[in-house]
Every structure is written in structure tokens, then in C-alpha cells.
Amino acid sequence: MAALTVFVCITAVLMAWSSYRSDQTLREGLIALDRLSESRRAATAAELHLESILSGDPSSTQGLLIASLARA
């Protein structure tokens, strides 16, 4: 009976640890995807600023382009 109790306790601890590691891995993956998304957004904004500058739009400046590239 004692061996069964020890087995159940060890199994419960291993399941809890596995769940914790799974959640931690998922969080790390989501953070990386979020950073990638922000970088893509900044690169797209830089591309739009460049197109506006090339077309002669005065609302886009070289400073905005550089700032977008720095965020990317």
C-alpha cells in the first residue's frame, strides 16, 4: 500500500512539473512571435515611409523612416 501511495505522489509531481514546463515553453514561444510581429510591423511602416518620401509626400520624413527602421 505504501508503494502505491509513493507511486501516485511521484506521478502527480511529474504531471505538475510537465504542465509547468509546457506552459513556460508556450509563453516563450508567444513572446518570440510577438517580437517578430512587432519587427514586421515596423519594417512595413518603414517601407510605407520610403514610398511616401519617394513620391514626394511632405508628411513622411527621413526621420520617420529612420525611426521605423530602428524599431525593426
- How far apart are the C-alpha atoms of 15 and 70, rounded to whole Å? 44
C-alpha separations of 51 from 55, 67, 70 in Å: 6, 15, 17
pLDDT at position 60: 86
State phi, psi for 60 to the nearest 5 degrees: -100, 130
Contact 50, 65 (CB under 8 A): yes
pLDDT at position 44: 95
Per-residue pLDDT of the chain (72 residues; tens, 9 = 90+): 889 999 999 999 999 999 999 999 999 999 999 999 999 999 999 999 999 999 998 888 889 889 999 988
pLDDT at position 9: 95
